[in-house]
Structure formats: structure tokens, C-alpha cells
Amino acid sequence: MPTGRVILIIDDDELDLAAMQITLESQGYEVLTSRSGDDGLRRAREAAPDLVILDLLMPPPDGFEVCRRLAQDPQLRNVPRIVVTALHEKMHKATTSADVRTRVDADVYMDKPVDPETLVSCVRELVERRKARA
């Protein structure tokens, strides 16, 4: 089990946040949570997590801005990011998930609802890749 690996989840949806937290804790990850972009950025700076999972649709600063700030922060820019969002449900038909992916600096993009097995697989791969580079 990946004991000692810290994952920060930033999502204003309490149910989605709890589901991802339970899934990852069941795999041995230490999970920190935040329900806002500002708090999530503060927690990321304090905890230096091994990976950040965040939603795009949150009150300002939204996930787009949080991703941008994480990517520009010298301490956090190399922390892998997984974006999980229900944005596809709210987008106009002319806008595609691929359009959003080009605007978000993340390692992985997942539509909600997130499949637990896919989430665990992606987290494991990104954390191990980061560990190998360190």
C-alpha cells in the first residue's frame, strides 16, 4: 500500500469530495480535503502534497484559476494534478471536453462521476512517476 503519500482534493461538492476521499483512503493514501480554491491553495502550500485532485466548477477562484496558480508556484508546479469535473454536463453542445483540456494545465482530466478504479489507477501512476523522478 502507498502509505505516506499525501493527496489533496479540492472540490466544493461534499458528496464527490467524500466519495474520492473514501476511495483513496481505502487504498492507503493520506487524504487532505478542501471545499474552496483559496483554502485548497493554502493547504497545498502548507502540506506539499504528492498529488492534487480538483474540480473546475467552484466559486472563485475556480479550478481553472487554481490549476494556473499551482502551475506557476515554484513549490507546487511539479505536483501532478487531476481535474475531475461535471463541466461536460453544463457546457454548450458546441464546446467539447477537448476544448476544456486545452485550457487546463493538468496531467489527467476526468468527467464526473469518477470511476473509483480509474481514479485509483491514475493516482497510483502519477504518484509513482513523481516518486521515481525525485
Q: How confident is the model over 104-120, as a mean pLDDT?
A: 91
Whether the predicted pLDDT of 42 surpasses 90: yes
Residue 17, pLDDT score: 96
Asked if residues 78 and 52 have their Cβ atoms less than 8 Å apart, the reply is: no
Residue 99, pLDDT score: 54
Question: Tens digits of per-residue pLDDT, 4-17?
Answer: 599 999 999 999 99
Domain spans in the chain, listed from the N-terminal domain onward:
6-133
Whether the predicted pLDDT of 83 surpasses 60: yes
Question: Tens digits of per-residue pLDDT, 46-77?
Answer: 999 999 999 998 989 999 999 999 999 999 99
List Cα–Cα distances, 115 to 20, 33, 102, in angstroms: 10, 19, 22
Name every residue whose Cβ is closer than 8 Å to that of residue 132 and which is 6 or more positions away in sequence.
Answer: none
User: What distance in Å separates the CA atoms of residue 101 and residue 123, rounded to the nearest whole number?
Assistant: 18
* Domain 6-133 CATH class label: alpha beta
Residue 96, pLDDT score: 46
Spell out where the chain has E strands: 6-10, 30-34, 51-54, 81-85, 108-111
User: What distance in Å separates the CA atoms of residue 87 and residue 17, rounded to the nearest whole number?
Assistant: 16
